[in-house]
Structure 1
Amino acid sequence: MSKFLIAAGIVIGLLGLGTYAYIETHPQEAFELALRAERDRAMLSVKSVNVDGDNWPYLDGGEGDVVLLLHGFGGDKDNWTRFGGHLTPDHRVIAPDLPGFGGNARHEDQSYDIASQRDRLAAFVETLGLERFHLAGNSMGGNLAAAYAHSYPEKLLSLGLLDAAGVESPVPSELAREVEATGRVALIPRTREDYDHMVDMVFEDKPWVPPFVVEALAQRAIENADFRQKIFVEYRTNLFRLEPVLPEIQTPTLIIWGDSDRLIHVSAARVMDDLLPNSELAIMEGMGHCPMIEDPRATVELYGPFIDRHTPAGM
């Protein structure tokens, strides 16, 4: 989902600027410097690769078994920076901007439904020459990760589903009730007020973020609203339902869910756990829709030991 950074890391990254005047007059440049500082601290660098004619930016860092991380709707690769920084000492972390988001290509004449994105992800994996790896995704990225796991089981060591989309929750979420009542989609902000509402929906315990960062993030989200609408319609029109495929996924799977998720009710986690033949379920108390952003350390404390158990000796 939305790309937020914990405030302390951003402030540290900006100390070298020496003056808030620069921030006020160059907010986008200051934001990019803050991102760069966060990535450096996480031992992640931005790389890019051409996949079928489109440039894929991605974060890459660390050594060891590969962990491939997929962001959700409206997010980008930096959703995983803090989380990834806890993994890079022992793992190679890769987190791409998925097509249609971040710095990846946006094509009006292409579809961004899950099946199409799965095929593009497979091409990205092959272009990087990844053999066997751990795959995890949040929200829409979790839906995509499960679709990939179903089609390419031979590629995966493990699967991580963090508040993943793709199954119908027995209890409707706050987002679902809001859409039903008003037609409003909180994930597609068109005004600053909309953006603030989206943040309130995503997080249970909102991290404090410097105002200039909030402004930069809000501006980007609002500018991309029309294309987000296109992707949302395609995603909803061509739903990749996971109920039929989860029983066929034998890959060891960890399901992580915030019990206060307003976008996808936590009851969906138990549906997934019941359908998957080889799964573990971890419910995080007082947590919203993006645990890897809201509390990256606590989330890694669940995820790290899981992938270690499913990494063959010598990798």
Structure 2
Amino acid sequence: MVGFMAGFAWAALAAGGVQAQEADADAGPPGTSGQLIEEPVFMGEAYVYQAGVGNPRSIVLIHGIGDDGARDFSEIIPWLARDFHVLTFDLPGFGRSSKANVLYSPANYAAFVKYVADKYARRPFILLGHSMGGVAALRYTASYPADVERLVVVDAPGVLHRLSFTSQFLAHLGMDFLPPALNLQEKFTNLVRKLLWRAERSPLDPEAVLASAQLRQTVLGADPAKIAGLALVVENLSKALPRIGADTLIIWGRDDRQAPLRTGRLLARTIPRARLVVLDKTGHVPMLESPQPFRAALAPFLRREAPPPAKPEGDRIAAGKHGDVLCERKRKAVFEGEYATLIIKSCDGALIRNARVRALRIYSSTVTIEDSEIGGGEIGLHAHSATVVMTGGAISGKVAINVLGSRLDLAGVRVTATEAAVRAQRTSSVVFSVSRIESPRTRGVVHGYYAVTPRTPL
């Protein structure tokens, strides 16, 4: 089990920030002045860097996993310093700062940023976090809302539950887990999920490893990157995200294989005043891979131009009424608009988006659902031997979801039922990420894995 947990953490590391590289011990980001400070959160020393000190507004930059630390922002600091007081740092555990066997979690990093910002930043400030730093920025903004004028989140991993099919954690176990529209390799997929679900119920769970100095040493080798990576994927932001009141810009590389675009879409739907900008031909580090498009996306937001208001759910429904439709033995079929009944049989890679479907029936198929409303009658979604990934939208009904031997991955989905949110006629699995259930048996925010049996409906 120890060996498995070590692999668990290494997988999380790979999803973090810029790949770890050997740091130049004498160099901070170009154009900055550096200062070594003692900090009370991790009880160590940290390097703090500033530029544009005479400018009246501050922008605070939080980097991701990797020993380049604050140098991840080298391409944008001189540009930002023309108009802003730029404050950044090597997070404890990375770059030139102290490294130790301590809990490098997003919450603790938020406390560290609070200490540094209180000393050097002009509040309220703009907060920008990349990768793991994006998760720390989300936690900071939810914890200290008065400090943050505007929030920028760039390609942040995590957020989705770690057992999500599209979790970057699963991807870096050796296979890129993408939505079922890309046709999962079933045997390998089943094996990985069984291992992960067994680990989820094991006495040696990730939280226990993180909480124990001895286990961090034994399982993770006391490596700050592994500790931070594992802490990242177990961070639960489901209650924090809706509390973020700051105008928020989310920037994502369309080709990011470490933090799936699905996560950016979930953040944009969950944070009340957020909008998403997707950069084409860009991976996990947009400010280095596509510096000009990155600046073009960021500049209007820094000028205090407000994000457009989010559209109500109903406004996302595409035009067109289709009545009753059957899809049988087709690949990559796409469904938009309104349907009375939509039956999908043996159709791999089906995509339902911007749709309203009163009764959705899925048999032996892999289906992705985006920004759609399902249900309104007796049973909203019926899934039999199916794999379903849904992001955004809602499912409703007397029984919202009825499953037989199926696997569901729901992120940012509202499930409303008068009798049962999820009922299983044969044991099925459901992973919820930052979702909400309203039913006689379950109420409130849900973020976790559930094995649903005929005796244990939700």
TM-score by length of 2: 0.48
Cα distance change on mapping 1:240 and 1:173 into 2, 3 Å: closer
SS, match of residue 281 in structure 1: strand
Tell me, in whole angstroms, the C-alpha distance in 1 between the residues paired with 2:104 and 2:169.
21
CA RMSD of aligned residues (A): 2.9
Spell out the pairing of 1:50-69 with structure 2 (5 A cutoff). 50-52=38-40, 54-62=44-52, 63-69=55-61
For the pair 1:112 / 2:128, whether they are aligned, the reply is: no
The residue identity in structure 2 corresponding to 1:226 is D
Partner of 1:178: 172
SS at match of 2:267: helix
Higher strand share: 2
Residue 121 (structure 1) shift: 1.7
Kept after mapping to 1: 8 A contact 2:35/2:48: yes
- Residues 8-59 of structure 1 show CA distances to partners (whole Å, capped at 9, x for unaligned) of xxxxxxxxxxxxxxxxxxx98xx678x57x71xxx32223333225322122
Whichever residue aligns with residue 49 of structure 1, its letter is I
Q: Which structure's relative contact order is higher, taking Cα pairs within 8 Å and 6+ residues apart?
A: 1
Kindly indicate whether the alpha-carbon contact (under 8 Å) linking 1:83 and 1:297 is maintained by their aligned counterparts in 2.
Answer: no
Aligned to 2:128: 136
Runs of 4+ in structure 1 displaced over 3 angstroms?
Answer: 224-227, 233-236
Tell me, yes or no, if the aligned pair for 1:255 and 1:280 is still in contact at 8 Å. yes
Contact 1:134 1:156 (C-alpha < 8 Å) held by counterparts = yes
Which of the pair is proportionally richer in helix?
Answer: 1
Q: Distance in 2 between matches of 1:71 and 1:54?
A: 18
- Of residues 276, 285, 310, the one that matches 1:281 is 276
Identity of aligned residues (%): 26
Give the residue type in structure 1 aligned to 2:280: E
The structure with more radius of gyration = 2
2:300 is aligned, of 300, 305, 308, to: 305
Residues 106-157 of structure 1: CA distance to partner in whole angstroms, max 9, x if unpaired? 221x211112221222112223254210001011100000000001110111
Q: Residue 230 of structure 2 is aligned with which of 233, 243, 247?
A: 233
Which residue of structure 1 aligns with residue 143 of structure 2?
A: 151
The letter of the residue matching 1:304 is: A
Cα distance change, pair 277–303 in 1 and its aligned pair in 2 (3 A): same
Q: Which residue of 2 aligns with 1:94?
A: 87
8 Å CA contact retained: 1:44, 1:81: no
1:1-315 equivalent positions in 2, closer than 5 A = 1-2=17-18, 39=30, 43-52=31-40, 54-62=44-52, 63-74=55-66, 75-108=68-101, 110-128=102-120, 130-168=122-160, 172=166, 176-179=170-173, 226-236=223-233, 239-309=234-304
Q: Secondary structure at the match of 1:262?
A: coil
What 5-or-longer segments of structure 1 have no aligned partner? Answer: 6-26, 183-223
Matched residues in 1 for 2:25 and 2:121: separation?
29
